[in-house]
Amino acid sequence: MSDAPPNRRMILNAFTMNCVSHIQQGMWTRKDSRQTEFNSLEPWLELARIAEEGCLDTIFLADVIGLYDNYQGGADTSFRQAMQVPVNDPMLLIPAMASTTRHLGFAFTSSVLQAHPFTFARQLSTLDHLTEGRVAWNVVTSYLPNAGNNLGFEGLPSHEERYSRAEEYLEVIYKLLEGSWADDAVVDDRERRVYVEPDRVREINHRGTYFDVAGPHLSSPSPQRTPVLFQAGMSERGRTFAAQHAECIFVVGSSRSGATLAQDLHERALLQGRSNKDIKLIGGVAPIVGGTESEAFNKQAEYEESLSVEAGLAHISGNLGVDLGDIDPDQPLESFQTERVQGFIKNLLDSAPSDTRTMGDLIKSNLAGAWLTGSVEQVADELERRFRSGLDGFNLTYTVTPGTFVDFVDGVVPILQKKGLVQREYAPGTLRKKLFGQDRLPSNHPAAAVRF
């Protein structure tokens, strides 16, 4: 049996995106994946049912609002390979998936650049009402230059400016969601013909650097008021921002450094007057499981044949802001001169397994770097190891959908449940109540300072 603290359990999120190809590029060409059906509602309802049957905490919907358009000087590869384009709005899936589930949470990504905070606050409240408090918002500041061009910024604002904008954006959101309406504003008194007591609603009269918002908020208080807050920034400014605002922090490269990241983020949270228990650290993993280790690695070998090096390079180019279009996938590794390559490529070469022959082989191995392959017992044991190293849970990335999630729910979840690491059934209440034991943000969160 597990010796985990009684109040600590592993959080599991199904990580996906409302597009054809999300992380594992090229897999959409396989017949055993429903990725090309993303425009239809039924596959999303199926995924929601699978996730709830497995007692997963949320479906976590990623998003972008721009093209990966710097590989080989443009976006042609992204379009040909469906590399996060076409992509639809993740928010609009949530009410439908909520209607076919009772407990599953829904985390969705929205950039502080893409919608005015007054409009977005009403969308948040509406979703929280319709789901009975099962919504989380993944706060992002965007990193693709095309996103800035799409939204009238004439390019992407600087890193520092994006975080300064995010700080004020959240301030406005908190004022609207937490401070505009009193808890007892809605009285629904039919005899007096009064639905809302006017003196229990107030304007916010925010005047700032980026936004002027009079208010009041147009939606009545929802079950959580402010949805559960996710964030993924790992820069110096990003970590401070996350430690101040986020409840669930998506950490990258965490399989080896979970304890170090946990210590750093928890120390930053304490400096912000928050507690360690107020923050959950979420790592990323792409499980490939089989009944035996051999079966799992045979499956991985088959998947590797479907990976697209070209789409992967386009993805990496966008993430790095560097055009990797001059890399020849067929070029032997030994022909690369280390002195003529810098940064990312040098790290790639240094990480090459001994039997890697070409740059294409090396790129594929790195594209699959988040794969956790093994028998159901081996995958469960490794997740437990990472959990005990400081992570609180995982975003589960699919290789094929819904197959990756079905395999995990059917094979790995029962073992984790037997270990006492994940929930066997859902606790009642809102998503925040399930994760943190209360419906509202705690009193030590910045949002509490502006409450009615």
Phi, psi of 135 (to 5 degrees): -110, 145
What pLDDT is recorded for position 253? 57
- The residue-averaged pLDDT of 53-70 equals 97
**% of the chain exceeding 90 in pLDDT:** 79
What does the pLDDT read at residue 4?
43
Q: Which residues pair with 283 in a beta bridge?
A: 394
The count of residues in the chain is 452
* 119 close to 240: Cβ distance less than 8 angstroms: no
Q: What is the pLDDT of residue 352?
A: 67
Distance, CA of 55 to CA of 135 (rounded, Å)? 16
CA angle 201/206/212 to nearest 5° reads 120
Return the closest-CA partner of residue 126 out of 98, 104, 88.
98
179 CA to centre of own chain: 27
Residue 347's pLDDT is what?
60
H helix or E strand, kind and range, residue 385:
helix 376-388
Closest among 337, 350, 343, 283 to 319, alpha carbons compared: 343
Least confident of 95-99, 232-236, 255-259, 269-273: 255-259
Confidence of residue 116 (pLDDT cuts 50, 70, 90): very high
Which range among 98-107, 251-260, 268-277, 402-411 shows the weakest confidence by mean pLDDT? 251-260
Phi/psi region, residue 373 (left: phi>0; alpha: psi -120 to 50; beta: rest), is beta
pLDDT in tens, 380-427: 999 999 999 989 999 999 999 999 999 999 999 999 999 999 999 999
- Quickly tell me which residue has 């358009």 as its tokens: 69
For position 349, what pLDDT does the model report?
Answer: 66
Q: Which long-range contacts (CB under 8 A, 24 or more apart) does 179-188 make?
A: 179/204, 179/450, 179/451, 179/452, 180/204, 180/215, 180/216, 180/217, 180/452, 181/216, 181/217, 181/220, 181/221, 181/452, 182/452, 183/221, 183/452, 185/220, 185/221, 186/220, 186/221
Residue 212 has a CB neighbour count (10 Å cut-off) of 11
Second CATH level (architecture) for the domain 11-296+371-450 = Alpha-Beta Barrel (3.20)
Q: Angle at CA 320, nearest 5°, toward 317 and 323?
A: 35
Computed on alpha carbons and rounded to an integer, the radius of gyration of the chain in Å comes to 23
Residue 274 and residue 444 in contact, taking contact as beta carbons nearer than 8 Å: yes
The Cα–Cα gap between 269 and 83 comes to 36
How many CA atoms lie within 13 Å of 410's alpha carbon, on the beta-carbon side?
11
Between 433 and 337, the higher pLDDT residue:
433
- Say what angle helices 236-245 and 159-179 make with each other, to 10 degrees: 10
In sequence order, what DSSP letters do the residues of 226-245 get, joined into one string? SPEEEE---SHHHHHHHHHH
Question: Helices 343-350 and 359-367, interaxial angle, to 10°?
Answer: 90
Amino acid (1-letter code) at residue 17: M
Provide CATH 3.20.20.30 ranges for the chain: 11-296+371-450
The pLDDT assigned to 1 comes to: 34
Partnered with residue 110 across adjacent β-strands are: 139
pLDDT at res. 402: 98
Write down the pLDDT at residue 5: 45
Answer with the residue of higher pLDDT: 125 or 1.
Answer: 125
Q: Which residues neighbour 404 within 8 Å (Cβ) at sequence distance 6 or greater?
A: 286, 287, 288, 396, 397, 398
What average pLDDT score do residues 284-304 get?
Answer: 95
CA distance 93 to 48: 10
Is pLDDT at 73 greater than 50 in this prediction? Answer: yes
One-letter-per-residue 3-state SS of 2-50: CCCCCCCCCEEEEEEECECECCCCCHHHCCCCCHHHCCCCHHHHHHHHH
Summarised one tens digit per residue, pLDDT across range 177-234 is: 999 999 999 999 999 999 999 999 999 999 999 999 999 999 999 999 999 999 987 7
Return the amino acid letter for 270. Answer: L
Average pLDDT, the chain: 91
pTM for the whole structure = 0.92
